[in-house]
């Protein structure tokens, strides 16, 4: 789920339009740990899994080969971040795509306020529909690249990201959205340690310190998270392309449950 500029037609996938019925036959059977992880929100998590397996596949946000491992590889993997998030935090998900991990965290942690930052129009429309259908009142969507999202998404307690970009580049994009003393969390694979060693200078240049890989042993297997702290010093900003592009603005859903920032 890249974090690139988007000029797609606003006519694709209009919010509220009916989507073709998807086939749930290939959806991975629900692991027993899902109830433990999502607790009182388990029905919402199930509805989100069904939405990903149907509309998510139809719209090209989830590969059709991912549905038979949707719980273990995606939802439960993302939920591994929940124990690293303090109560009541304001959290930004950069390059949210289909809502992984942002919507998973909003479901599992209703105490957390989640801002989904996503530049692509068709993905933004899917996120707005998901917030509406899942009746989430702790989410908002900002259509923007991370580099431009500061006016609407800056000052966050945490910035999280998954499968967006190499660590060094991601750190440069995200650090300006984290308040001083806040936390950067990048959900990576088993090569996270090697990636951190390779990109350590870029991470420090972005104003992130004390970077380390945290292994979280969850019900779907280990998850590897690069965690770092934002310094009070102003980070070195990456050079911005497409300087004529307007800064990110919150996108207003059709249903008031999907909150917008101001």
Q: Known binding site for S-adenosyl-L-methionine: residues?
A: 95, 100, 146-147, 162
Helices (H), the chain: 33-38, 42-51, 57-58, 76-79, 102-108, 121-134, 150-153, 167-174, 192-198, 200-205
Binding residues: 95, 100, 146-147, 162
Strand 221-230 to strand 178-188: parallel, antiparallel, or no bridges (unpaired)?
antiparallel
> Please, are residues 166 and 197 in contact by the beta-carbon 8 Å criterion?
no
* Closest C-alpha to 118, from 140, 151, 138: 140
Query: Which residues partner with 159 through β-bridges?
Result: 92, 184
* Closest C-alpha to 149, from 191, 202, 101, 94: 94
What are the two backbone dihedrals, phi and then psi, of residue 114, each rounded to the nearest 5 degrees?
-115, 130
């Amino acid at each position: 789920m890249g974090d690139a500029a988007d000029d797609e037609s606003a006519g694709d996938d209009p919010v509220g339009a009916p989507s073709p019925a998807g086939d749930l036959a290939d959806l991975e059977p629900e692991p027993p740990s899902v109830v433990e992880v999502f607790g009182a929100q388990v029905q919402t998590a199930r509805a989100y899994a069904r939405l990903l397996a149907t509309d998510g596949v139809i719209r090209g946000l989830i590969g059709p080969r991912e549905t038979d491992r949707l719980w273990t590889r995606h939802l439960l993997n993302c939920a591994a971040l929940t124990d690293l998030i303090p109560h009541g935090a304001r959290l930004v998900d950069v390059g949210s795509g289909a809502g992984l991990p942002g919507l998973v965290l909003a479901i599992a942690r209703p105490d957390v306020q989640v801002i989904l930052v996503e530049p692509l129009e068709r993905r933004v429309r899917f996120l707005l529909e998901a917030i509406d259908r899942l009746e989430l009142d702790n989410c908002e969507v900002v259509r923007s690249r991370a580099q431009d999202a500061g006016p609407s998404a800056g000052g966050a307690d945490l910035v999280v990201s998954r499968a967006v970009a190499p660590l060094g580049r991601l750190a440069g994009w995200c650090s300006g959205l984290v308040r001083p003393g806040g936390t950067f969390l990048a959900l990576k694979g088993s090569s996270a340690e090697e990636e951190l060693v390779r990109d350590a200078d870029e991470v420090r240049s972005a104003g992130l310190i004390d970077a380390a890989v945290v292994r979280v042993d969850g019900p779907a297997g280990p998850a590897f998270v690069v965690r770092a702290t934002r310094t009070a010093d102003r980070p070195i900003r990456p050079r911005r392309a497409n300087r004529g592009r307007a800064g990110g603005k919150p996108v207003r859903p059709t249903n008031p449950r999907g909150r917008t920032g101001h």
